[in-house]
Chain A
Amino acid sequence: MYPAMTPFLAQSEPWISFDVAGLAEQFWNNTVDGLAQGGIYALVALGYTLVYGVLKLINFAHSEVFVVGAFATWLTFYVLGFRAGVTPELSVVEIILFLGIACVVAMAVSGGTAVLLERVAYRPLRNRNAPRLVFLITAIGASFAIQQTLRLIFGLNQQPQIRLLQPEPLFRVFGATVTNIHVILIVAAVLLWFVADYFINRTRLGRGIRAVAQDPDTATLMGVNKERVIVITFLVGGLLAGAAALFYMMRIPQGAIYNGGFLLGIKAFTAAVLGGIGNLRGALLGGLLLGLVENYGQSLFGGEWKDIVAFVVLIVVLMFRPTGILGESLGKARV
């Protein structure tokens, strides 16, 4: 019908590639990179999953909790006297010390933001017994407000990145180069996940969280303080997001930017859904899987398609298995 359609489709330069050879060549590198990236997704996904498990609410503003942590990291480094473009000469002990300080600050700031968010935006709605849509729109409003506050303080552009340590290859696995940053990221993410898992499944407070997730009314009757459990849930999610922000800052080449949370937030949510939202193990599995898939997709289709891969995964998962790989189960605790 339209003869002009042919040149439209047959461009001289292909705009999408199926670089199977490239994927095969990069496979192990992608795996290591994907696991490191996936560890960050998993930590942020835990925040979505916990809040969803307890409140059945998609905390849309969680991505902003993460970004606040990223800025807190940057500010901490700045205050400690590090500057962009200068790699300081530090011993291992000093690096661990400074990273530890930044981690504590980022976790505290993110956790504080999450609790504040709960207090200011969500609690009044809960007291009014508002329906779901209202929560979601409030969350969007809160996300906007935090993001724009950051923009007004730090400006439109990316902060120059401050690095405490440069990525240095440590060893090789199956031909993949593993850098010091990869090791720190994967180890720390898995460690933090184990701490979170222990907290939820083995402690008294964690039992309260699971009880409220399972049945809030009965839990209240059994003497669980629901409001306190909700605050703690937001706090734990925020703490993990803060830690994730530090790792993220170590990994990315550019510095923090006010709207940097959006993409990461939606991917972390994808990870949570992929593993089964409301399910702690699902968050870890989903995060790592998404990190891997995204990196393989990047090699296969080209870097500019990386983000689309994540969104397509989200839609496909929701189409075929809306409860995720492991199913939704924070409330249906077996322990």
Chain B
Amino acid sequence: MTEDTLKVFIDGVVRYFQHTSHKEVKVGAPYLVDNRQPASFDYTGIIGISGPYRGTVYFTAPRALLSHLLLSLGEQDTSTGNILDLVGEVANTIAGNARAAFGHEFMISVPVMIEGAPSQIQLPVDLRSYVIPVSWKSYQAAVVICLEGV
């Protein structure tokens, strides 16, 4: 794993927020987290990656951030369905960015969205994931990256 690889996924998130009315998104200092205790907020959009290296990347955010984000996008309906769609959209942007950056050697799955329950996020237990905190307005979200074979 190199910082450039991590940057590709972070750029995906930053790119998404740049399309919103409140563009300023801050990337916090990254840290490691044990995969036995995967970190997540209320809603998570997960993409699978395969190819020269494989693993999981997910964007996770609290409901408040996502609701606010929906409103800032002009969407008044902040139901769970819309929130899940939104988190999936962010994951999709990460996937799209990764596809463009890594080329066809890599396979990037369609995002899966989950609500709560970090136990549903399956990560190899003997590895650690990179957590990159992202702050938008006063909210905190995170991009979590776990890639093997890097």
Physical interaction between A and B: no
Point out residues on B near A: beta carbons under 8 Å.
none
A residues adjacent to B (C-beta < 8 A): none
